[in-house]
Structure 1
Amino acid sequence: MANLMSTTERATGLAVRLDAVTKVYGTGASAVTALRDVSIGLPVGSFTAVMGPSGSGKSTFLHCAAGLDRPTNGEVWLGDQQLAGLREGALTKIRRERIGFVFQAYNLLQALTVEQNITLPLRLANARVDRVWLAEVAANVGLTEHLDRRPSQLSGGQQQRVAIARALVTRPNAVFADEPTGALDTRTARQILQLLREVVDRLGQTVLMVTHDPVAASYADSVVFLADGRIAGEERAPSAELIAERLTHLGEW
């Protein structure tokens, strides 16, 4: 994956960067500030978890970083591309080709096979399917024997593996995961988290994951804590116990 980095990524070592990002919803007396002057860089090949109490700005953070929402102020960079000023068509193209998404609900198309679901982003972009890379991705997520099946024939954990493979197939700059284990039992959730960990370690992928679960966050290289729309701290290589302890004190922020 290293050879896929842009010149800016090689120079800065950052796959994603937020510079003084503020996001306000609504206007006047009803305005709500979801993010306040947030600045952070995500190193290439890193696994970052984002945590915080309800209403802290976690989802807004992920949506702005992934180009799903536009900041009110500030800049969002994906490698060498500034996202905030792009027209919707150009932003859609970048989301399709350079960003991978993994959500709690899988978002698979039941009428398509596993292989068709995985390659959907390429087909939407009218891009050629690299069969060698597809086989490698399928093998890495444990789906080689299931490519001809429909999502309804798979377990929840297997469906999430399809979603992860779909996120990887375009060789994105970064993968954004929003509560990816929220609908899974504990054993399956840990398998998916280990898979995300391996995606970072083996493929050099950059992953940003929003989660409420300290155990899930402990699989990341670092955990960023949000409170009231601001970054309230960061822990590197933390244990689940340390993360839980930090979360209990975020309410005092």
Structure 2
Amino acid sequence: MNAVSKVYGKGQGAVAALREVSAGIPRGTFTAVMGPSGSGKSTFLHCAAGLDVPSSGSVRLGDTELANLGESELTELRRRRVGFVFQAFNLVPALDVVENVTLPLRLSGTRVDQGWLAEILRRVGLEGRAGHRPAQLSGGQQQRVAIARALVTRPEVVFGDEPTGALDTMTARDVLRLLREVVDGMGQTVVMVTHDPLAASYADTVLFLADGRIVDSMTAPTPEKVAERMTGLGAWK
């Protein structure tokens, strides 16, 4: 994204969620986005993923300028070229694992590649659970289903919005290791918003937002260095 600003509301009540933010996410990397509450993390994610339209600036996915797309084209882009993993797993209770994972393909009328489906289920550790419904799975397993669903369209980038926020520490580590493996083993690009320094430490790069601006970045992050930087932003005072 280049010089992206996002303003909500008008006149006296206008709130600037992003202020001329520029960031490039290299392919095949794992990027974490952190910042205090209200810093613009979710707005950054939503603009980058085509879920929200910037007030100014440009967002590109590969060679595609998102501002040039109509609503139906954006919907198509989100279905085919972008994967999403949320804090709430957003699974359909009445569908089993395979049906939940392949839902994006069915919505877009795309044939399911059975070999690719089997490969994804194996990589996320769900090959023995294919016929289970969400209620029969643990929280960690449900998030693995959500990650598999995000990968099934072979997207150019997977966006995670607090993907470990609803999980206990041990389960969160399993899911983070899986996201790391998705990048290292499959060449996937992952961008994850998180408030957790441990989660951020699994990324290659951490971007720090404050007051709608990127104020710092960190490569080779550790939980301690990330926590120290967040304290410097006033996040936990």
Normalising by structure 2, report the TM-score. 0.98
Indicate whether 1:28 and 2:11 are aligned. Answer: yes
Residues 1:148 and 2:122 aligned together: no
> Which residue, out of 187, 209, 231, partners 2:214?
231
**Secondary structure, counterpart of 2:180 in structure 1:** helix
Per-residue Cα deviation, 1:1-26 (whole angstroms, up to 9, x for no partner): xxxxxxxxxxxxxxxxx011000000
Deviation at 1:86, TM superposition (A): 1.2
Instruction: Give the Cα–Cα distance (whole angstroms) in 2 for the partners of residues 211 and 118 of structure 1.
Output: 24
1:51 aligns with 2:34: yes
Percent identity reads 68
1:10 corresponds in structure 2 to none
Matched, 1:107 2:90: yes
Find the counterpart in structure 1 of residue 109 from structure 2: 126
Is the 1:118–1:163 contact (alpha carbons within 8 Å) kept by the matching residues of 2? yes
Q: Residue type of the partner of 2:48?
A: A
1:14 matched residue in structure 2 = none
Question: How far apart, in 2, do the equivalents of 1:176 and 1:238 lie?
Answer: 19
Q: Which runs of 4+ in 1 moved over 2 A?
A: none
CA distance in 2, matches of 1:141, 1:251: 37
8 Å Cα contact 1:232/1:250 also seen in 2: no
Equivalent residue letter for 1:190: R
Please report the RMSD computed on the Cα atoms of aligned residues, expressed in angstroms.
Answer: 0.8
Letter in 2 for 1:240: P
Unaligned runs of 5+ in 1: 1-17
Distance (Å, rounded) in 1 between the aligned partners of 2:112 and 2:66: 26
Which whole-Å CA distance do the structure 1 matches of 2:146 and 2:68 have between them?
Answer: 29
Structure 2: distance between partners of 1:29 and 1:102: 35
- Find the aligned partners of 1:37 and 1:126 in 2 and give their Cα distance: 38
Residue in 1 aligned with 2:147? 164
Alignment map for 1:1-253 (pairs within 5 Å): 18-251=1-234
- Once the two structures are superposed, residues 66-96 of structure 1 have per-residue CA deviations (whole angstroms, 9 ceiling, x without a partner) of 0000000011111111112311010000001
Q: CA deviation at 1:251?
A: 2.6
Residue type of the alignment partner of 1:51: M
Q: Which amino acid aligns with 1:162?
A: V
Structure 1 residues 78-120: Cα deviation after superposition (integer angstroms, max 9, x where no partner):
1111112311010000001110000000000011110000000
Runs of 5+ unmatched residues, structure 2: none
TM-score after normalising by structure 1? 0.92
Contact 1:134 1:169 (8 Å CA) reproduced? yes
Deviations 1:41-71 (A, max 9, x none): 0000000000000110000000000000000
Looking at structure 1, the residues matched to 50 and 196 of structure 2 have their Cα atoms a distance apart, in angstroms, of: 24
- Deviation of 1:238 after TM superposition, in Å, equals 1.0
CA distance in 1, matches of 2:10, 2:58: 21
Counterparts of 2:119 and 2:84, CA distance in 1: 19
